[in-house]
């Protein structure tokens, strides 16, 4: 008896429906506290991810090579987008304009940008146009990594202000050094 082959598109649809039904049954019927709120939080998280991709896609297209696959393009777009999104929220905070309405408007602008750039997003069969070659992108990537390292290095000079950091990262090692064994501290 021969095994019937299933078309890939139909197979993907069946698997997707299975996971949708499984997720609905898991979150809505299982005695899971606040399932509705958690589904809403997942939806907001997905919306923020779409917005980040919308914010990051123009920068990804401008800075990175054209021969990226669709998944690589999405990952770099998300990375650039979350960086831009965080920077914009930081700037809003500097001007005391960080409000829920401002954050939602940034998310909306990113989502509209994602919709506008969705036609230019690479699919499996086509290669995106524009961008730099890998040899041209390497110095830019090295510079970004260097700048991130400098920012991290500057953070070591910030004073410790949180109780947990003072106890676990300063007092416990000092007590261990003094007693030469672990000491219980309240």
How many residues can be counted in the chain? 186
Lowest mean pLDDT among 8-22, 63-77, 92-106, 146-160: 146-160
Q: What is the pLDDT of residues 39-83, one digit of tens each?
A: 788 889 999 999 999 999 988 888 887 777 778 888 888 999 999
According to the model, what pLDDT value does residue 107 have?
A: 94
* Average pLDDT of span 85-96: 87
According to the model, what pLDDT value does residue 61 have?
A: 84
93 burial (CB, 10 Å; 0-12 / 13-18 / 19+) is exposed
Nearest 5°: the CA angle 80, 81, 84 is: 85
According to the model, what pLDDT value does residue 128 have?
A: 46
pLDDT: is 142 or 3 the higher one?
142
Question: What pLDDT band is residue 131 in, cutting at 50, 70 and 90?
Answer: low
pLDDT exceeds 70 at position 166:
no
């Amino acid at each position: 008896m021969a095994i019937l082959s299933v078309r890939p598109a139909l197979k993907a649809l069946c698997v997707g429906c299975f996971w949708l039904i499984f997720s609905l049954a898991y979150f809505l019927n299982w005695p899971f506290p606040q399932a509705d709120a958690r589904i809403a939080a997942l939806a907001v998280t997905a919306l923020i991810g779409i917005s980040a991709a919308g914010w990051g896609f123009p920068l990804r297209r401008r800075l990175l090579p054209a021969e990226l696959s669709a998944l690589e393009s999405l990952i770099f777009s998300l990375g650039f987008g979350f960086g831009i999104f965080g920077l914009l929220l930081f700037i809003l905070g500097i001007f005391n304009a960080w409000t829920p309405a401002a954050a939602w408007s940034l998310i909306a602008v990113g989502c509209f940008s994602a919709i506008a750039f969705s036609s230019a997003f690479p699919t499996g069969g086509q290669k995106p146009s524009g961008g730099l070659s890998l040899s041209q992108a390497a110095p830019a990537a090295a510079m970004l990594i260097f700048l991130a390292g400098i920012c991290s290095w500057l953070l070591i000079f910030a004073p410790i202000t949180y109780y947990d950091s003072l106890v676990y990262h300063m007092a416990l090692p000092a007590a261990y050094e003094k007693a030469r064994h672990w000491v219980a501290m309240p």
